[in-house]
Each structure stands twice: as structure tokens, then as C-alpha cells.
Chains A and B, each alone.
Chain A
Amino acid sequence: MNQRLILALILGFLPGVLWAHASEQGFVLLLPTDFYIGAGVASVALTVVLLALLPAWVAARLFAPLAVVAVRGVPLRHVTSLMSTLFLAFLVWRGVSGSNDPSVNPLPLFVWTVFWIGLVSLQGLLGNHWRWTNPWTGLVALLGWVTGSRAPIRYPRAFGHAPGVVIFLCFAGFLLADPAPADPDRLALAVGGYWYLTLMGVTLFGPRWMVRAEALTILMRAYGRMGLLGRARGRLAVGLWGWQILARPRPGFGLAVFILLMLGSGSFDGLNETFWWLGFLGINPLEFPGRSVVITQNLVGLIVANAALIAGFAVCLWLGERIAGTRRPLGEAFCLYAPTILPIALGYHVAHYLTSFLVEGQYVVKFLTDPMGQGTDLLNLGTFYVTTGFFNTPGTVKLIFLTQAGAVVVGHVIAILLAHALAVRGHGNNWRAILGQAPLALFMIAYTFFGLWLLASPRGL
């Protein structure tokens, strides 16, 4: 198997989606990105106009799922979860004992590339695999079965999703502001420690801990609502991304806030690399002094970005309800429309991480062919050199950029469609729905511009 084939496999893994690096930046700046941004924003705006002209039922009809096959519960999920636990234990052990090079040690490769980029994207694009890949549920079931005991403490109802929100912000802080989130030793401590604390949480408070406090499970379950595949009336069904959002009840306030944090943190993850942000901090973008210099700035930025997003979103909803003349409380609208943010967050997640996936994915392949670093070649690759050549030719850079931009635009179009379907359902009247949705639609159009601007902006790290 040659290297190009491997690359093709990696590229094929995420159908029609791609993202960035150092010399690639130079070619992006030569692209007519203003035109692409204009076209992307126009597509989203056009969606709004079309929805105003088309009959009210169109958006809802687009999301109608197609039931495929009747499936019974697959009992193997605890077994696969246990395998996932064992693999995680292996990774943490290698994190401590293996190479200190984050491109060689499997722990950072699997946590940041396979899980955070690959599995999270797959969850949103395809459907809920976390049911089988979660590294806690199998062990918890096994422990419960062996000991026969139940959780001694009832999870306090008043907590809601608050612990999950706090833990997610800690996770985002680690990802964005820690000086060395990929350092194998450091990551082993963080991953092993978090895994153990979660196990304790579930043991003490029962499974509710998993769905209210375990941030990754909350994130995965939220993205699971985005997937093409899902369940409808006991059958496996397939529908347009987001169909499950319309099929499910609206989330509680804590989960709604969590969903906004997913987008806010993701957006700041792009913003904090731009020349604009570095200039704002007074840092020379060509001589970035390293992450250890901007820890506080990144943490403050993360909080401010999230607060600004939540405030902006809430103001748009408030305005919309005023214009439409409904008497729906703001909190209710906030919870109802928050899931429409998911496709935007997912599109941006895919776009933002595409380029690092293209590079780091090759290091994952290198690991797979030689898992213990002993010079084996299980995949029969021969001499395997990691390449970043696709950042060096204008054609591939253009393809990568347009794929990223495509992911962002598609995410926003779906968000607009979802918001419209929800508005129609709530107002029962197309015209009122359009009026009420207008501020949120404008917000999403503006966010399309922001997302595409982030992709096209020169970056300093």
C-alpha cells in the first residue's frame, strides 16, 4: 500500500470535507477568498429568502426521516465499551511509558486526532456511536453486576447540567490555553485522572452523572442528534443532518447553554490563531512567543467569546419573539432554538480541524503500522514519510479551503432550515415564523461571514 493510497483513505474517511498549515496559508491568501466568502454568505441568505417564498411545510418535510430497517437493541454495547476502556488504559499506559514525542506517542494521537477530530465529527455526521465507544458504561454495568450494589447518592436534581458545563469549560480551557495539551505525560494525567473521576461520579451518583456531568458524553449525545442515522419508532432511520433535533423534545436550559458553549469555544479556537487576535494582544504574529505566554489571555478570551455568543443569541431570540408578537418566555425560546446551533458547531469543527487531521492522521497510520515503536510494519507500508505536500500546491490548497468553506456553509444552511421548521411549528403561521425568525437568521448569516473570515484569515500559529 503506498502513501498516496493511505492519504486517499484518510481523505475518503471524511467524505467531502477538508482544513490548514504554514505554507498553505500563503496560498490561501492568494485565493479569491473575498469572493468565496461572499458566495457562502449569499447561499445562506438565499436559503432564508427561499424559505419565505416557499410553503411553510417545506423545511419540516426536508427533515422527514426515512425508516430503513427494524432493529432490536444491540446487546454488545457493554462489550465494546469494555474494549474501549481497555484500549484507553493501553493509551494512558503508553502516555506514561512511551515516547515523549506527541507525534509518535499514541495517547495524544488518539485523544486529539482520532477522538476529538475523528470520532466527534463522525458522531455528528453519521450518528450515535458513543453508545458503543464510551469507555465507562461497560465497566459501570460490569461493576454493578458483580457487586450488585446501586449508587448510594441520588444525583441532585438542582445540579442539572451545571457540572457538565463546568467540566466542558475546563476541557476547552485545557485544549486552548494549556501550554502543552499534547505532551504525553501531561495528557496521561489529565485523561487517566478524568476517567477515574468520572467512574467515581457514576459509582456515587449513578448513570445520571454520565448524562448530566460527563462533558464528553453530553457533547457526544448532543452531536448524536445531528447524525444521519438515528432511531424513529423502533426502526433505524436515515434523514437529513439534524432530523433528530426536530424529532426530539426541546432540551433543558443547562443543555441549551452547553450547546452554545460548543460553538463559542470552537469559534474562539479559530479566532485565537488569527493575526487579528494576536494584534489585539500586541503580539508579533510572525514571532509568536509560545502558548505559555498567552494562558490568561486565552482563558479570558474563551469566557468572553462564549458570553458574547450566548448574549448575542439571546438578544436575537428576544427580538424575534417581540417582532412575531408571541408571548413565549425568552428561556423557552432559548431552549427551543439552541439545538439549531449544533450544525454550525459541527460544520466549524470539521472545517477547523481538517488540516490537522490530514497531517496527524498520517502519524496515526505510522503508529498503527508500528504500535510499539520496534520497527515493525504491520500494514506493509515500507518506508513511510509523513507529507504536507498538499499544503504546497495551489490546487490542493483550493480544494481544502473550499471543502472547509463548504462545511461551514452547509452547517449554516441546515441551521437556518431547522430554525425555520421550529418557528413554523411554534407559530403555526409561515409569515409570523419568518418575521420571528428574522433576527436569528441575520445572526446566522453574520456567523457564516465570521466562520468563513476565520478560515481565510492569516494565522500566526
Chain B
Amino acid sequence: MKLYKKEGNILQVLSFPNETVEKGDYLLVDDVEAGKALIAQIIDVQFASIPGVLEELLRSLPDGGEIMQGEDFDPLQIAPYITYIQDASLLVCKIRATVEKDSLSPSSAWLPSRSQSIIKKLPIPTLFKLAKIDGKLPIVIGGTKDSSLLTIDASHLDGKLNIITGKKETGKSHLSKLLMINLVGYRATVVVFDLNGEYISLGMTSDGKRNAHYDKIHVLTPGQNFKTALRQLNLHVLLGILIHALHLPGTSAREFRRIWQSLRDRDMLNLHELGEAIRNWNCNQHVRDALSSRYHALINTGFFTDNAAEATLLEDCLYKAKEHGGAVIINLRNTSTIDRQIVVEYVLGKLVEQLTSWKLKATFLFAEEAHLYLRETYWDDIVTRMRHFGIFTTFITNQPDTIKENIYRQADNIFLFNFTNEHDLDVVSRAARVDAETVKLIARDLPPHHCLTLGKVVKDFPMVVKIKALDVRTMGETRLFFTDTS
């Protein structure tokens, strides 16, 4: 390999066919005399612009577009050299760091010698060693191209905002399950908004047996094993549901607050009494109607109950998870949009309540397709306010444009699966921790189950990794019509 050009932090390296390198690989451009080396990542592989190649290709096809039949008598065996030159490639690389005396700096301000520099592929384990990508709480997320394992540190997910994105069926949920299980393994508390019921069998192996995590997976299905009694609710949680999920106007909310206080003072906080109080409350008819319609919406969810035995305490599950590590899966499958929003408002309200009172230390929140249940104002809340309470969110989506730009800008780690659509790649490339070229050029060629890992977990050295297989019962498969005929 030969150094050809350097423009800004882009290097162009000439490579020959016997040098097998691919997109995503790292190169070490070692200038021995300068005592420094550049670490650059290949972000694109192009044909080198060899003069005369077009003529060469054109003349092989003059016979009506078919390859012309013939015999070449090439006594000096020059043809292999012609092919060798013709197949030379140009590696477009992004400079990631400079190595000087075994220490890394993000500088790309110096110019290595074009003639003297030795360019070689940098083995991933060596890069890990140089960049100190390891940690006390290792999570093996998969294998890199040269078969070494990519191990990230769980502490680099702690207090961080993560995004897992990619088009459908590329393995996003698989990775989120992997991260989740490993976090649980380190006794972390994890809450999952499970839109499609994909996580409910995480406690089972693929052949249906209980696995090591069985006792740590708590699946809560709203209306079934997940109900709440009004007595267990704080007023501000319920007001959050009424205002944000059911769009109760401010005036009506004020009246509701009075009703609630009145019932609480009389120790009559139950659904029946609440309904009666609304019906008999001395207020404007429009306010009464507004409150009445919201009341019936709450009743219809089936999520609220007066039966204390039926009510599952979310707090109990969170405490169990706090003690031994565990995941609380909120199964939102088969719930309507409004019900989903009510449940999410309730869970988030409860989490904040628990965290502010220091009953919980911190929680990792995994939110799949959050735009389907998260209200507009919560996005900013989650990345700013809730982070300080100790809610560390991982968004999982196949529609990257549903996540706001400021979320990408503040994301600490991005796990990017394949995208072919330019628009999707444009959105993701707004992330602050990565350059747009890397995202666009590498992500579009990622095979299924391969992920471009960006951010703090890889010390800002973007890494392509094949996500390791997980022995859990998968539930996220698409239901098909033609299954019997295949």
C-alpha cells in the first residue's frame, strides 16, 4: 500500500489486489523517521483511476457487446501485471488518531512521508490495546472482521444516551436484548417498553427451557398482570396521564386536582367514588364533560382497578431488580395508542418518583419505536432532565427520522445497522460523535447482523462488528401468511 493523498482528515491510499483490506478496516500509516503513525479507517474502497482502463474494457467487448473470442500469446507473462494494475484500488480513509510513543491523540495535523511511510493493516486487537477498549464490566457484543471479539465496557453505557438503529430485520432488537441481558447480569435495573412483545421470553432458551435470567425477567402486561389502584397513584402521575396522554385542558385539570384532594381527604380514592365525584362536582358543564370523558377513557384501559389484590406494584418489580439485577418488560403488544401512552406516562412518572426519592439508584430504559408512545416533550426530558434522575435511555428504531436531531447530537453511543436510504443515513449522520462520511459509506454496505459501533463504548474508533448469537427464545418474528406453503 502506498500513501497517495491527504486532504484534511481524509487519506487516500493506493492498494493492490494482493492486499486484502475492506471497508471498516483500520490501517497504520507508520512514518518511522518522524516516530509517529496515523491510525486511519477505510471508509470507502474505489477503483484507482488508472489511465487507459476504459479503453482496455471497451476493446474487450466490440463483438456485438459480447466478449470477443481470441487467443493471447503473451510470452513474457505481462497480462497478470496488467490485471494487477487494473485492479488496483484506492482506499479512502478517515484519520482517527495519531500514535506517538504508544499514546494516542486525536490529531491529524501532521503529514506522514509519502515515500517512506509503511502502511499496513492494523489488527483489531492491537487497536483495542492502543485505545484501551476493554473494561472492568465487559460485554462481548460480537466478532470483528478479523475474528477478534469486540468487548465493550458496561460502564460506558452507564449514564449515557444510546441509539440502536437500522432498517428492518438487520438485528437491532437482537443487539438490544444482548445489551439488556448483560446489564442485568451486572445487577442493573432495566426497564423495557416492548412494543411487539419481543422481550417477554428473554428468560427462556431457544428450545423453550428456562435460562439463567428467568428469575430476573419480569414481564408486565397492562390490563392483565399489570394494573394499578388509584390509591397507589400520586396525583402528579395521574395528572401527567390526563394532561399528556388524554390531553385534558388546564382548567379541567385544576378541577380534577380539587376532586382528587377532596376524595383523598375523605379516604375515598377509588374508581367508583371518582366517577361519582365528577358527576356531582359543582363546576362548569364543559369541565364536567371533559373530566367525565377522561374518566371513562381511564376505565376503558382496564389498567386501573379498585381491587388491591389485582394491582401489581411496579415498585415491587423495581425493588427486586434493584436487589439482584433484573429487567421489567412492559409488554405493550395489543394495546391501543391511547392505552399505550397512559401506561408509558404511568411508568415514567413512577420511575422519576422512585429515582427522585432515591428508592432507585438508576435505571436503563430501552425504548423501541418510542415515537409511537412518547409524547413530544418527553424527548428533551429524557436526554436532559431524566438523565440527571438516573434514567439512561437506549432508543431502538428503524425510522431514524422519528428521533429528534438534538437526541442524535447528544447520543453517546450509536449502534448503526444497515441503511440503504440516503435520507435515513443523512439523519443518523447528524450525530456529534461521528462524521457523516463514515456513517454514509460504511452503513450502507453492512450485511445483516453487522453493526457499526460508534461512540464512547469504542473510544470513538468506529468498529464494524457481527453481533453474536443469543440463546433466547425470539418473539419478534414477523407473522407470515405463506408459512404453510413454503
Q: Do A and B bind each other?
A: no
